[in-house]
Amino acid sequence: MSQTDFDPKDFRRALSQFPTGVTVITTLDADGKPVGVTASSFNSVSMEPTLVLWSIDKGAHSLAAFEKAEHFAVNILGSDQVATSNNFASRGEDKFANAAYSAGLGGAPVLDDYAAQFECKTWAVYEGGDHLILVGEVINYRYNDVVEPLVFARGRYAISAQHPEMINTASPCDNASQENDFVSDYLLYLVRNLYQELSASLYPKLQNECDVNPEEWRVLSRMLSCPTFKISDLTDLVMQPEVALRQTADWMVEKGLVEYQSNEVIKITSKGTEIATQLRDIAIAEEAKLLSQLPADQAGQLKDNLKTLIEKLG
């Protein structure tokens, strides 16, 4: 396929296969007001000098502020900051209304909560097609080792986790007693391992039998019980920021699974309802196959206990 044949939406979908972290880039505009945008286009450039870069769409409202800024801050988000990412990715005017922050280098806002932060002096601004590439010299930085970073892949939020192959790799202590090995009996380890095993079995079936990827499945599963949704109401439910959810919705419209009632509202179609029902049946069958390995009363109790924990944590 030549470059002139590229479908922009499909090209973005290919790029989404590369997982990234999630950042909020902040600065001050010409009037001294705080400005912030969510960005995943962040990367390191150089150690001598210490340079990092990110890019901003030329159509962004905050373009002028960042293009002329002498300083900016890169706030790398933690896994519990999905709402923060959605806030700074939204079209709202006062994105700092619900954000706790203080003034950093050059007055650029630094968020109170973060996985890591880099306070930068603007080093260069380059043309990059429909984006501007901003390079910053890192003057100050800090990080929180205890915070899990927020991850973005395939148009949705995710968390970093140890790969199953690493989990199953033989350990020098395999022949030793496992009685004191708390990890193999730790809830987080057990839940993550179970999720990875179940999703590895389920997601390929969704794709092969219904031509639906996990992101589309999350939307359809919600719309099966609520046929009409505002885009903004779906973002947290399906773990996608608004800009990514709109791309997913566009792909689903092309497949005939949903339709736009307005720019802000989507509705599931009859075809979408039919596919969603098939997807639900596949998911329930996969769950039943997994739980069949437990006595019926234990399977039900397992789900009830998990629901109770989720409610209490929430």
What is the C-alpha separation between 162 and 143, in angstroms, rounded?
20
**Domain range list for the chain:** 18-153, 161-170+179-313
CB-based contact 123:137 (threshold 8 Å): yes
- 10 band by pLDDT with thresholds 50, 70 and 90: confident
Q: Is the pLDDT of residue 314 over 80?
A: no
Query: To which H or E segment does residue 109 belong?
Result: strand 109-111
* C-alpha Rg value of the chain to the nearest Å: 22
- pTM of the entire structure? 0.71
Question: Which residues are paired to 153 by β-bridges?
Answer: 156
CATH of 161-170+179-313, one of 1.10.510.10, 3.40.50.300, 3.20.20.100, 1.10.10.10: 1.10.10.10
pLDDT digit string, tens, across residues 162-175: 666 665 554 555 55
pLDDT digit string, tens, across residues 208-254: 899 888 889 989 999 999 999 999 888 888 888 888 888 889 989 99
Give the count of alpha carbons within 13 A of 181, CB side only.
Answer: 10
Nearest to 42 by CA among 55, 59, 57: 55
- 154 band by pLDDT with thresholds 50, 70 and 90: confident
Give the pairing type, strands 109-111 and 34-39: unpaired
φ/ψ region of 50 (left if φ > 0, alpha if ψ in -120 to 50, else beta) reads beta
Class of domain 18-153: mainly beta
List the 51-57 sheet strands across, edge first.
34-39, 23-28, 71-76, 116-128, 131-143, 51-57, 42-46
